[in-house]
A and B are shown apart, each in its own frame.
Chain A
């Protein structure tokens, strides 16, 4: 199977947001970055499918030069090669723009299966996968918890997560695109051998297609407004515990 895994580089979970002067975007250059967690699960699923059915895993990402960090990491974890649609302007790209940027390269490669995370930990649009599927012209399914591929029959059966603890099996033909839910598998981490091997693996750089235009314009970015007056309790752990329990008993009557 020829498998693509689309990954995104996002600010780390520990990152504290800092805004640009116009307060319309973050200060990208000051953020520290990591692989989008749901994409890491998609990568792991791709590696497992390759181990079972043979073929190759190609990691694909759209973004500025800095995204090489997560591409190298994916190669170190076992991906065979990479396609990087590189442009400085793609750092703040929305899902639609990122999908449009990757579409020509994805069409040219003719993958049997395209995997990606169900959403990104930064912008969180949850649009990239289904939009890419529509643009490439393959069927899709989202929030997947299990993949049983049958490459010989050009078919697969997947387990979709529905809301509130419900699931559903869906059969569809290959080629296709799936968005992967976190927790579908147990992640592997890069070994020293993998890190060394990654240095020799190919990263094909591609320019984005002309005429990319974002349709979502962020006019203001700000910290969320509190919906509640939160009573912050300070002091030593013992003092804070005493005060919290007192308030829960006397004020909130929750105990």
Chain B
């Protein structure tokens, strides 16, 4: 059996869960039953939604102590659930919440965990999981060793939510008899908040010029600004630029920033770390300008120029003004 652990917040399903279900259905190849479990408080609505998938069963662990997420409560509940269900594989979407508790879960269970998986392959009767390594410069096919269950987290966007097979009738929903003693929880979380009202909604921009480490110094941001102006584009950046304070955090594209899919995305001096790519790979036309011909950004680019951005950007500005 393959167990997918869904993610929800305040009774609202995280859409990436469908991607994890799609991955589970692919791994199962129709021969291994797939179950979905949802942990939280007041999750019957989410469970009903998930029951539309072609799965054997939807399990709920519904407890007040799981209402506001903590790593301790989730490790505790998930460890009890996985032990009781004894699946061959446990699949989750590689979200920040997953990153927070699943390594601890794997350590608690003393089982193998592979994270950030982008493809599932079969190698000599064994499942091999492809994942990026070395900042996306390489991909590794990884085989998990040791006793089951093996834990797998799938990169957001790597599996298609719309590929999930739906069932002809709703899957049965049942309550997993798991109790979490609130005294195991050492973290006391407060309500999530946003730093400031997002003044810039980059998701509405038709064109975006995004700048990365290749810009080298704060005073060079002006070059990117001028290029954005020439394209009629919004200016955005990869994380290191915002970390340095060269552009405000609200202009950051990527897993910790905004997700965009404009008509045109021009990446200058961005190598293409996966945390950035997840925020922009849905763009219709992607242009990459980078001095390193091997930079991962070129793998998803429609047009690429290998060269010095300080030479190419001024030439582009001149050309666009013609």
Residues on A facing B (Cβ under 8 Å): 11, 13-14, 16-17, 26, 95-96, 99, 118, 121-131, 133-135, 139-143, 160-173, 176, 181-183, 213-228, 230-234, 237-238, 240-242, 244-245, 247-248, 252, 254-255
A216 contacts across to B, CB distance below 8 A:
112, 114, 142-145
Write the nearest CB–CB distance from A126 to chain B, whole angstroms: 5
Residues of chain B with a CB closer than 8 A to A164's CB: 256-259
Residues of chain B in range 233-250 having any CB-CB distance to chain A below 8 Å = 239-240, 242-244, 249-250
CA distance A167 to B285 in the complex (A): 32
User: 30 A-B pairs, CB-CB below 8 angstroms?
Assistant: A16-B137, A123-B134, A130-B101, A130-B107, A134-B104, A142-B99, A162-B192, A164-B256, A165-B198, A165-B249, A165-B256, A166-B193, A167-B194, A167-B195, A171-B187, A171-B188, A171-B190, A216-B143, A216-B145, A217-B142, A219-B128, A226-B299, A230-B299, A232-B306, A233-B303, A233-B304, A237-B314, A245-B320, A247-B303, A254-B284
Interface string of B166-194 (1 = CB under 8 A from A): 00000000000000000000111111111
Q: List chain A residues, Cβ under 8 A from B99.
A: 118, 126, 130, 142-143
Return the chain A residue nearest B114 by Cβ.
A216
Chain A residue with minimal CB distance to B100? A142
Q: Is B83 located at the chain interface by the 8 A CB criterion?
A: no
Interface flags, B15-52, vs A, CB<8A=1, else 0: 00000000000000000000000000000000000000
Number of interface residues of B (CB under 8 A): 95
A168 touching B192 in the complex, CB below 8 Å, given contacts A241-B312, A244-B287: yes
Q: B101, B140, B142, B316: which contacts A245 (Cβ < 8 A)? A: B316
Q: Which B residue's beta carbon lies closest to that of A158?
A: B187
Complex contact B112–A215 (CB within 8 A): yes
CB distance B239 to A254 under 8 Å?
Answer: no
B89 interface hit (Cβ, 8 Å): no
Given A16-B294, A124-B132, also A242-B319 (CB < 8 A): yes
Chain A hits for B229, CB < 8 A: none
B283-314, CB < 8 A from A: 284-288, 292, 294, 296, 298-308, 311-312, 314
Contacts of A141 in B (CB 8 A): 71, 100, 187
The answer to whether B71 touches A166, judged by C-beta atoms less than 8 angstroms apart, is no
Contacts A219-B142, A244-B316; A182 near B187 (Cβ below 8 A):
no
Contact of B303 among A169, A176, A230 (CB under 8 A): A230
Closest A residue, CB atoms, query B283: A254
Which residues of A are found within 8 Å of B128, using beta-carbon distances? Answer: 219-220
A92 to B102, CA, bound (A): 22
Distance of A121 Cα from B136 Cα, bound (Å): 10
Whether A139 contacts B299 by the Cβ 8 Å rule is: no
Beyond the given pairs A96-B106, A160-B189, 19 more chain A to chain B contacts, judged by CB atoms under 8 angstroms and listed by A's residue number, are A13-B213, A130-B103, A130-B107, A142-B99, A164-B259, A165-B258, A168-B192, A171-B187, A182-B240, A217-B142, A219-B123, A222-B138, A224-B132, A225-B299, A226-B299, A228-B302, A230-B288, A230-B303, A237-B307
